[in-house]
């Protein structure tokens, strides 16, 4: 018996803003054009009610099926809608994958294509696993999309902000010959203004310190990105997520080197694991240290007392006032940035063609590869 040909298209909508409806309109046209295909439209219940409730049943082809996915928001949550989105984003990947698998189960091979809102980045991974194509749907204008394609070129060529070049045109990017520098989106945060917080994969401050750290962040008003496991978020003060929704973001994992390399990051609150210290030095980001065990205490001493590129949290534990004082010290005293800048230059030289690390590696390679 011949196996059935794949005839299902999985559609993943982003449920916020005006993302879902344009995608639905595209899918509706495709469904009319291809009546033998089934289009499975995945979004949150609230979004699906808005999209499918707005459209008359006569306008919805029978080969479009809507499926609800969990939005990740606690049932008793009554906070700000931006905090709702944070809950959604934290659980988005798992919830959409679970939703799709619950519908298809052992019949995933019936999927012939994915159509995903461009924010649903993980759709490409799912498509790759099945060996099928994925179409990314961009809901904004083509000019803004072009700026994302050419981000590196733009950053190399210009500096955003008030520097007297705001009226220059972006003639080096296709399609933007009439766009001026002032039209480009600026980074939401100023250079060296954001606190990045991460304690690695093995260590976490005790609950009372997590609460104190959160209180210090809130009191300081410093924008922050905090890598904190989902099951620990409940240990933060009540209402903290809602009150800091415009200044902070908590995620279960971050690509640390990329985060530290962003020019908006001005301080790294760290456990002082050696890898973290090295990554902070090579990125030129001063540190606030809260060591726990092993070599972390020695590393902390080097950072704070020997190299002078950071400070140890007062009395070795987080308090509200101690956190705020350390943030003020690192972010506003230029000496820390100057010292770590010099150390960063030495680190770069060490891995250069004539650097000590390069020479040591070459020696090791000779030993290992010797006949």
Active site residues per annotation:
19, 117
The pLDDT of residue 130 = 95
Read off the pLDDT of residues 62-99 as tens digits, 9 standing for 90 and up: 999 999 999 999 888 877 667 788 889 999 999 999 99
Q: Is the pLDDT of residue 131 over 50?
A: yes
Place of tokens 């972010």: 331
Residue 144 tokens read as 């803004």
Read off the pLDDT of residues 302-336 as tens digits, 9 standing for 90 and up: 999 999 999 999 999 999 999 999 999 999 999 99
- DSSP code of residue 180: B
Residue 1: pLDDT band (50, 70, 90) is very low
The pLDDT of residue 170 = 60
Residue 257 tokens read as 């080197």
Q: Is the pLDDT of residue 139 over 90?
A: no
% of the chain surpassing 90 pLDDT: 57
Measured CA to CA, the distance from residue 283 to residue 337 in angstroms comes to 11
pTM of the model: 0.55
Residue 250, strand partner residues: 226
Name which of 272, 214, 264 is nearest 243 in CA terms: 214
Measured CA to CA, the distance from residue 365 to residue 361 in angstroms comes to 6
Measured CA to CA, the distance from residue 175 to residue 145 in angstroms comes to 10
Phi, psi of 26 (to 5 degrees): -65, -45
The pLDDT of residue 53 = 83
CA-to-CA separations, 120 to 88, 116, 249, 276, 306, in angstroms, rounded = 12, 6, 19, 30, 46
The pLDDT of residue 181 = 47
Section 115-144 average pLDDT: 88
Q: Is the pLDDT of residue 238 over 90?
A: yes
Q: In this predicted structure, which of 65-69, 147-151, 179-183, 184-188 has the lowest mean pLDDT?
A: 179-183
Strands 64-69, 287-289: pairing kind: unpaired
Measured CA to CA, the distance from residue 106 to residue 103 in angstroms comes to 9
Q: Which domains does the chain have, with CATH numbers?
A: 8-139 (3.40.50.2000), 143-183 (no CATH), 194-350 (3.40.50.2000)
> Strand (E) positions, the chain?
8-12, 38-44, 64-69, 111-117, 134-137, 194-198, 224-227, 248-251, 265-270, 287-289, 310-312
Q: Is the pLDDT of residue 288 over 90?
A: yes
Between residues 175 and 77, the one the model is more confident about? 77
The pLDDT of residue 169 = 57
Q: Is the pLDDT of residue 224 over 70?
A: yes
């Amino acid at each position: 018996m011949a196996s059935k040909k794949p005839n299902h298209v999985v559609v993943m909508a982003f449920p916020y803003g005006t993302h879902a409806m344009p995608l639905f309109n595209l899918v509706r046209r495709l469904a009319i054009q291809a009546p033998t295909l089934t289009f499975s439209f995945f979004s949150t219940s609230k979004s699906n009610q808005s999209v499918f409730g707005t459209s008359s049943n006569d306008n919805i082809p029978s080969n479009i099926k809507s499926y609800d996915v969990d939005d990740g928001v606690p049932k008793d949550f009554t906070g700000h809608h931006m905090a709702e989105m944070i809950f959604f984003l934290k659980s988005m990947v798992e919830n959409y994958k679970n939703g799709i698998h619950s519908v298809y189960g052992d019949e995933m091979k019936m999927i012939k294509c994915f159509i995903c809102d461009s924010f649903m980045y993980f759709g490409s991974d799912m498509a790759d696993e099945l060996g099928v194509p994925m179409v990314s749907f961009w809901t904004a204008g083509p000019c803004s999309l072009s700026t994302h394609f050419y981000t590196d070129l733009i950053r190399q060529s210009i500096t955003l902000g008030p520097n007297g070049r705001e009226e220059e045109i972006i003639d080096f990017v296709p399609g933007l010959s009439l766009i001026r520098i002032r039209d480009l989106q600026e980074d939401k945060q100023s250079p060296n203004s954001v606190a990045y917080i991460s304690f690695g994969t093995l260590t976490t401050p005790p609950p009372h310190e997590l609460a104190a750290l959160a209180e210090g962040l809130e009191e300081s008003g410093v924008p922050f990105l905090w890598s904190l496991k989902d099951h620990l978020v409940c240990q933060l003060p009540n209402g903290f997520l809602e009150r800091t929704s415009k200044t902070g973001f908590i995620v279960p994992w971050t690509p640390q080197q990329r985060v530290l390399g962003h020019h908006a990051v001005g301080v790294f609150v760290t456990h002082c694991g050696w890898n973290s210290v090295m990554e902070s030095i090579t990125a030129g980001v001063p540190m606030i240290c809260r060591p726990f065990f092993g070599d972390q205490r020695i590393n902390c001493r080097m950072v704070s007392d020997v190299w002078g590129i950071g400070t140890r949290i007062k009395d070795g534990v987080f308090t509200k006032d101690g956190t705020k004082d350390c943030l003020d010290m690192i972010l506003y005293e230029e000496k820390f940035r100057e010292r770590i800048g010099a150390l960063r230059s030495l680190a770069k030289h060490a891995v250069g063609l004539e650097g000590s690390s390069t020479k040591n590696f070459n020696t090791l390679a000779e030993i290992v590869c010797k006949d």
